[in-house]
């Protein structure tokens, strides 16, 4: 079986393939028999790619000098369950967080009250059920719940010791990168959406698979010979390069398939726009067509 859509097979199985039936009183245009219809062999590209990349990032963090031993022992638990290991420490120095705060003993301005030591709370009005009596909300000033009126809090960076070290941290993350996409050749939008829907979820046959990189030689029955990919293979190539970048590829399974499409275009008559139809072989082997209504 072949996946090549041909005019001969389309005439035998699909004629008439009518476009513009709704717009024209005299029945529209049969793309398979009308005068001046252009048939272009174009190809869609289907990408199914999964890549697992090991990404290593390094950063510096300032920590209290008294935390150095504990940190070197256990590392740092980061967001998303990823752990950071410690590569080394700088010499101890003055904590940069509280150095400019102007307070003694390693304290900084309380960020909750902004240094006022107080905060306002709203006292809720009392409700008397049955009488619908309401009182206006009243405000009351109380001591800040974070600093308890002290206006400053212990510096979170140095823990009040005023001495810190800069830790060099390394994070190793395994990043899955997935991409499933149908790249269509230039077609009218209406055809695009329906065609993508037909091709997006199928399992493409191995004979339509294209070689990617080195070491692969998929079977080829000539189904795609003479079909024009326009620039879609270059776009897919760039997509794959981006998926393989910025890290060490640990595992990958990337499949690229071509899908031959016979695009029929009839010139617009009496001011009507150009009519278009796409003929292709479906995954199960039946010839199918979509027309621009
Ligand atoms: Zn406060
Ligand atoms: Zn500090």
Q: What is the pLDDT of residues 45-80, one digit of tens each?
A: 999 999 999 999 999 999 999 988 888 877 666 555
What pTM, to 2 d.p., does this model score? 0.71
Q: What's the average model confidence in pLDDT over 241-249?
A: 93
Query: Which residues touch 201 (CB under 8 Å, ≥6 apart)?
Result: none
Coil, strand or helix at 263 = strand
Report how far residue 16's alpha carbon sits from residue 26's, in angstroms, rounded to the nearest whole number.
14
Does residue 26 surpass a pLDDT of 70?
A: no
Report how far residue 220's alpha carbon sits from residue 182's, in angstroms, rounded to the nearest whole number.
20
pLDDT at 22: 62
Beta carbons within 10 angstroms of residue 99's beta carbon: 16
User: Which residues, in sequence order, are bridge partners of residue 174?
Assistant: 54
Q: What's the average model confidence in pLDDT over 148-169?
A: 93
CA of 141 to the centre of ligand 2 (A): 30
CA of 150 to the centre of ligand 2 (A): 17
**pLDDT band, very low/low/confident/very high, at 272 (cuts 50, 70, 90):** low
Residue 241 backbone dihedrals phi, psi, to 5 degrees: -60, -40
pLDDT at 13: 94
Task: With CA atoms as reference, report the closest residue to 248 among 19, 4, 54, 10.
Answer: 54
CA of 101 to the centre of ligand 1 (A): 15
> Do 209 and 242 contact (CB within 8 A), yes or no?
no
Handedness of CA 46, 38, 188, 290 (dihedral sign): negative
CA of 65 to the centre of ligand 2 (A): 10
16/218: higher pLDDT: 16
269/155: higher pLDDT: 155
Indicate the average pLDDT of the chain: 86
State the distance between the two ends of the chain, measured CA to CA, in whole angstroms.
30
pLDDT at 95: 94
CA of 154 to the centre of ligand 2 (A): 8
> Do 289 and 279 contact (CB within 8 A), yes or no?
yes
Does residue 108 surpass a pLDDT of 60?
A: yes
């Amino acid at each position: 079986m072949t996946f090549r859509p041909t005019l001969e097979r389309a005439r035998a199985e699909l004629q008439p393939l009518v476009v513009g039936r709704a717009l024209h009183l005299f029945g529209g245009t049969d793309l398979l028999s009308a005068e001046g219809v252009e048939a272009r062999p174009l190809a869609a590209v289907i990408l199914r790619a999964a890549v697992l990349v090991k990404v290593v990032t390094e950063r510096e963090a300032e920590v209290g000098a008294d935390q150095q031993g504990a940190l070197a022992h256990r590392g740092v638990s980061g967001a998303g369950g990823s752990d950071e290991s410690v590569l080394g420490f700088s010499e101890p120095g003055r904590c940069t967080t509280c150095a400019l705060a102007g307070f003694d003993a390693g304290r900084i301005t309380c960020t909750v009250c902004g240094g006022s030591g107080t905060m306002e709370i709203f006292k809720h009005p009392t409700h008397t059920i049955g009488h619908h009596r309401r009182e206006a909300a009243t405000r009351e000033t109380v001591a800040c719940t974070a600093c308890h009126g002290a206006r400053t809090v212990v510096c979170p960076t140095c823990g009040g010791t005023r001495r810190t070290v800069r830790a060099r941290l390394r994070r190793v993350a395994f990043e899955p990168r997935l991409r499933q996409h149908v790249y269509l050749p230039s077609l009218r939008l209406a055809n695009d959406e329906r065609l993508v829907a037909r091709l997006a979820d199928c399992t493409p046959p191995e004979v339509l698979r294209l070689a990617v990189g080195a070491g692969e030689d998929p079977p080829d029955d000539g189904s795609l010979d003479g079909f024009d990919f326009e620039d879609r293979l270059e776009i897919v190539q760039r997509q794959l390069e981006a998926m393989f970048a910025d890290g060490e590829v640990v595992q990958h399974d990337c499949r690229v398939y071509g899908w031959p499409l016979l695009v029929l275009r009839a010139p617009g008559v009496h001011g009507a726009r150009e009519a278009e139809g796409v003929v292709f072989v479906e995954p199960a082997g039946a010839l199918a067509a979509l027309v621009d209504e």
